[in-house]
């Protein structure tokens, strides 16, 4: 039985969800980007979630193992999820839907919160989960939740301070606790987990702990401390290569506390 990571192989995770892992490992992408292939039992067509990076070998393999693609969905705008959109469409002819109009292909309808998509024998509910980015969405199936980068398979998520906010993120965690009980977590990076709500609760606790650490750092450094000063204080035990990403999350935490 295949386990994560299984590069180049379509790995079955739930009765309707399989994953093809892109070979784009990094500090930010973990082992790489998970491209999810959703197929109802007995159906020929499938739904692809996040085509992944602009990487020919991944897109070729995806087109080979997915078969007919009725629809492609995008969880959010980051390039390791959307870089392959055009190449994927060229190979499969699939329409593409996302919350951001920039990534629509053969469609003029951005994804909307609460929308129910019925396609290829699947019923997929769109759940707006902003915070990591403003356009982040999750997809709820009967037995699973695809969370994009909102919840990862290991580690925690960076808040992109260009348009993500901690207030939105914490609200999104509450929503995932509500819908995630008993549903498998299917993240965009890292391995799956058996219960989405359990991991969402862990994320909430982690964020609250970090907020307490930032408050304490401000007590020592002064209320006007800059984000990188706080990073050096709070993330001293974290690999310095991750400090630029930590700075983004700290800026979001400072914005949250100061507001």
| Pure H helices in 183-242 | 196-221, 227-234
Closest to 98 in 3D by CA, of 82, 84, 80: 82
Residue 242: pLDDT band with limits 50, 70, 90: confident
pTM for the whole structure: 0.95
Sheet bearing 122-128, strands edge to edge: 116-119, 122-128, 137-140, 144-148, 184-187
Q: What is the pLDDT of residue 241?
A: 86
Domain boundaries, the chain: 11-198
Q: Considering only 111-115, 143-147, 224-228, which range has the smallest mean pLDDT?
A: 224-228
pLDDT tens-digit series, residues 216-226 = 999 999 999 99
* Residue whose tokens read 């549903």: 183
CATH of 11-198, one of 3.40.190.10, 3.30.470.20, 3.60.15.10, 3.40.50.2000: 3.60.15.10
Is 184 within 8 Å of 14 (Cβ atoms)? yes
114: tokens are: 């609460």
- Give the pair of three-digit tokens for residue 68: 């007919």
pLDDT in tens, 166-194: 999 999 999 999 999 999 999 999 999 99
Percentage with pLDDT > 90 across the chain: 92
């Amino acid at each position: 039985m295949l386990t994560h990571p299984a590069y180049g192989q379509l790995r079955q995770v739930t009765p309707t969800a399989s994953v093809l892992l892109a070979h784009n490992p990094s500090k930010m992408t973990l082992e790489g980007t998970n491209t999810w292939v959703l197929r109802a039992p007995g159906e020929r067509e499938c739904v692809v979630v996040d085509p992944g990076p602009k990487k020919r070998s991944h897109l070729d393999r995806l087109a080979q193992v997915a078969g007919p693609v009725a629809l492609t969905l995008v969880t959010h705008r980051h390039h390791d999820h959307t870089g392959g959109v055009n190449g994927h469409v060229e190979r499969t002819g699939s329409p593409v839907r996302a919350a951001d109009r920039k990534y629509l292909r053969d469609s003029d309808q951005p994804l909307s919160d609460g929308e129910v998509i019925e396609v290829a024998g699947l019923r997929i509910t769109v759940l707006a989960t902003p915070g990591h980015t403003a356009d982040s969405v999750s997809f709820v199936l009967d037995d699973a939740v695809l969370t994009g980068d909102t919840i990862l398979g290991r580690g925690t998520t960076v808040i992109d301070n260009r348009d993500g906010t901690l207030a939105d993120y914490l609200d999104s965690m509450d929503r995932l606790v509500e819908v995630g009980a008993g549903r498998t977590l299917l993240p965009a990076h890292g391995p799956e987990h058996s219960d989405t709500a359990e991991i969402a609760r862990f994320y909430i606790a982690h964020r609250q702990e970090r907020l307490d650490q930032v408050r304490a750092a401000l007590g020592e450094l002064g209320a006007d401390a800059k984000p990188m000063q706080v990073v050096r204080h709070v993330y001293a035990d974290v690999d310095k290569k991750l400090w630029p990403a930590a700075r983004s999350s700290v800026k979001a935490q400072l914005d949250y506390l100061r507001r």
